[in-house]
Structure 1
């Protein structure tokens, strides 16, 4: 029966009752019978309105074979008032208990896309959420918030992908759409000995150790996330006291894309090879306060790339870098690149096509830290084609000219060239009009090029020097 017909029937019944009075009840039943009939009609109408298949908010029963486990079904408290550690841990164990046929990497069970849904709640936990030691993959945790309790261990992380085995235990694990509050009791996420892990759209705050730790394993992809010890948008009065590491990568072949580190002592620390950072914005603790935006603490074959990043008042530090590319990035507020000597090696480093902007106090865009020992192996280092405003240009390639009337001409590149007293490749031309005097390259000391002619002449000296191809010095 249509909804309109039910309303008409209900209206007619009411009119019949109240229009005819009690004397009419004899023909159609007693007063109680009429009330029951009306109740029945109303119940039928309400029931159809709630469960009608045509309505978008129809509630479907959850199948017992569902691959989605809901935190609240396990008794987890979505208000965050009570401890939900046991409930969430049980949900994770149950998710690992129903694998499908087939495997991923050898020894890693395929869980078939099973999910732990946090149902949009905020859950307090008193110890890390860990995956079972049995090894597994194709699993997702998503859709809610976790907060460390006041007695959470200070040396652990809220979520830990870590097993007792030293071999690879987890593959294709996804942590997505999560807000993690470490409550100044340790870190956010630890990904250890895992492969093909994705951390997507996560917000991690109030850590004291690491926002995210990636150790060992292979190909962890972190993207579209926000990480900060204190929630701020800059100029925070606590900035001098920021501590911890936003992203700590101790491994190879990982990628960080479109991520913001807004407060930490070190934005991104890399101790591994072949990692790539793209679109990363670091405005953590400023360089002037001792902070570092991106620290490549992997001397030797670093083989890391920093592309299209934004270093905001905090710069890049590299230890004895070998094969590093920094390009198309923006350095604001006197942020600069520091190349630090441990054993005096810098090879295969490209710092090109970047923009630097400062306050005109003379801060160089690239600086050498030779406090430990001087650089003795310099090879294939290219610092060129950078756009500089309000800072001092540094380069490994330079061009200059000077005019004079005499027998000597000198072009001084000491204020531009990166490495002191190091010119091994020179091209020059002495333009003297109609005259053609004999001339020779006389001196290169102090990064100044001096050319001398055999007779006095009015001429212009044009010079190009290059420090990029050298070797041992």
Structure 2
């Protein structure tokens, strides 16, 4: 028999309104001219997200008195879920999650988000088939975990949904400190794996996500989602799959700010990580999803004019990095194998605050440049504080924004050609040179520095060596 307290809770859930979730992935282009306005806008938006006084008050009431005095671990099999994966377990798992969200303790996390006291849905190592997404209740709560088991989509699972969805009923933050840990997610080519929408401080840890056709992980809106120690691939392989040219989907789709992806392998997808938000940090990433030769991209940064992305200590295995109009992009300590390269793509000609330093590149000696420019839409015209330096390459053409060269001849003109080494065409902003002519000291002049070539001329013929150092980067605006 259902208790009065349970009946009241169910009635409360039934009256919660469901509103359309805002898509924070759509962002307008903001160039250098609007840089400071964007800084103020982002600071204002971020402050409104994380300020305790800025979060809308809870739209429904709930008891702050502890509902459960014993264990807050809810076992899937206790609710009749089938751990063999033969029968549909959606209803049982949803009921277990619903009960976990009623196990509130006194106090809150962020204002209006109830503390669930460390409640857990424990899958006990079982495999559970589901026919619709597992969604958290329309009750704002946190300090909750789903762990230790496998979820697989049934043949009739919706193709436009994800197996686990943190999908709030409004634009305000509904969930905080939710952990998805030690899970095998098999989308069965029916949709995506995990969707984290408008949530605070979410952790995806030690998960294996496969057979998705949309996103392995979608992070939209919200703040500080951490993905770590996780394997993601549309097709389970170890590289060189015969279906590689047909890989589709996105391993991790980030439409949000201030997130971190650490120690993650993406082994098959069209795009390993798509970034459409700002201030995200990626470290220890191994991308060997669809190779560049088949049209794949390891990391695609689609946040033109306001990038603020840091990529460190990662491994790009036959697939590289693309960044659109990058502003404040840092790529360091990474290894690019199999002609993998970094591509800067111009939409409105902006390249500002870029560091591509201390990386290693290895190719097949076919003349592929380590860093490339795509200026098919527009040439780069706003180039400031771009540093491509201290990289090394084997079997690829090493590109840089600084270069040194020398030439000896007997005559009146000396020309050092840096066009093969320098990244930007016809953009030498600083030149230092020394003309070493032995005991003589002829009068000389820097005659030309265009086309990435430096020419020095002497008044009289002489035998000398010209040493030149050039730099394409500047500090400040011109």
TM-score class, shorter-chain normalisation, is 0.7 to 0.9
Q: Return the match for 1:145 from 150, 160, 165.
A: 150
Equivalent residue runs for 1:105-116 within 5 Å: 105-116=110-121
Deviations 1:174-230 (A, max 9, x none): 000000000000000000000100000000000000000000000000000000000
The answer (yes or no) to whether the contact 1:377–1:471 under 8 Å persists in 2 is: no
The answer (yes or no) to whether the contact 1:376–1:472 under 8 Å persists in 2 is: no
- What residue in structure 2 maps to residue 179 of structure 1? 184
- What residue in structure 1 maps to residue 81 of structure 2? 76
Cα distance in 1, alignment partners of residues 469 and 206 from structure 2: 48
TM value normalised by structure 1: 0.86
1:366 maps to 2:371: yes
1:65 maps to 2:70: yes
1:430 maps to 2:435: yes
- What residue in structure 1 maps to residue 418 of structure 2? 413
Higher-helix-fraction structure: 1
The answer (yes or no) to whether the contact 2:429–2:473 under 8 Å persists in 1 is: no
Stretches of structure 2 lacking an aligned partner (at least 5 in a row): 1-67
- What residue in structure 2 maps to residue 19 of structure 1? none
1:466 maps to 2:471: yes
Secondary structure in 2 matching 1:179:
strand
The answer (yes or no) to whether the contact 1:187–1:210 under 8 Å persists in 2 is: yes
- What residue in structure 2 maps to residue 382 of structure 1? 387
Higher normalized contact order (CA 8 Å, seq sep 6+, divided by chain length): 2
Number of matched pairs? 411
Equivalent residue runs for 1:47-446 within 5 Å: 65-446=70-451
TM value normalised by structure 2: 0.85
Deviations 1:234-268 (A, max 9, x none): 11000000000000000000000000000000000
Cα separation, partners in 2 of 1:198 and 1:242, compared to 1, 3 Å: same
Cα distance in 1, alignment partners of residues 228 and 207 from structure 2: 8
Cα distance in 1, alignment partners of residues 120 and 435 from structure 2: 74
- What residue in structure 1 maps to residue 47 of structure 2? none
Q: Which runs of 4+ in 1 moved over 2 A?
A: 470-473
Cα separation, partners in 2 of 1:436 and 1:262, compared to 1, 3 Å: same
Cα distance in 1, alignment partners of residues 207 and 418 from structure 2: 48
Q: 1:64 Cα shift?
A: 7.7
The answer (yes or no) to whether the contact 1:246–1:266 under 8 Å persists in 2 is: yes
Stretches of structure 1 lacking an aligned partner (at least 5 in a row): 1-62
Secondary structure in 1 matching 2:100:
helix
Q: 1:445 Cα shift?
A: 1.9
Deviations 1:131-167 (A, max 9, x none): 0111100000000000000000000000000111111
Cα distance in 1, alignment partners of residues 385 and 268 from structure 2: 35
Deviations 1:381-435 (A, max 9, x none): 0000001000001000000011111111110000000000111210001011111
Secondary structure in 2 matching 1:446:
coil
Q: 1:361 Cα shift?
A: 0.1
Secondary structure in 1 matching 2:307:
strand
